Structure 1
């Protein structure tokens, strides 16, 4: 089980560390932040695909998401780190959305928390669907 835990740590927990996945200056626009997030997701999946021998056109995303779902069952300690990573990602989305509102990039009458959670969900689901369609 130790080697399995190390794999989960390396390819899910560390890969999903938002501060490693998305490196951007605080002056970036919401558009730049969004594009950086997309690149981060694509880079993670490409890296994993290369390491385990799945071509980018194949469907490794469903296996990846399946592993994420099972972290809580097998490794509660890693699940807490994963949840912390998600919270960090949400915090960054809130920051850039609020900044976009303040700079008149987007409307001011939005629910920032809902919008941040929606972006995260859209990117996750969209990435999975595109992998399934292509694979």
Structure 2
């Protein structure tokens, strides 16, 4: 099963980061879909998720508490495809935690409301998780 991280499609590989034009992301998504029989997409960019909605057979909405999301962020493994070192990733942690704290208050394409609206409108199979599944016994 192929994995596509929308972060890699949403941002240009430059510093400071800059959003990739949506049409360029669309082209990359369509190329990915043509090359894969089965796939999982991870990401929080609703404007990119919308491009996949007719191809998706199921969506999963991680509707965790702010506290659980922050704990997950602090315990996440290093993502070498995004950061050159663990230290570079950790340097971004405070920005990530700030974003998590504001997540349910925002109204943009990476906000809780945008994700909830996408989930509610999706016509295929869908699930919501309100807690980490590894913690369930």
Q: Could you say whether these structures have the same fold, taking a TM-score greater than 0.5 normalized by the shorter chain as the test?
A: no
Q: Whose strand proportion is higher, 1 or 2?
A: 2
Larger RCO (CA within 8 A; separation ≥ 6): 1
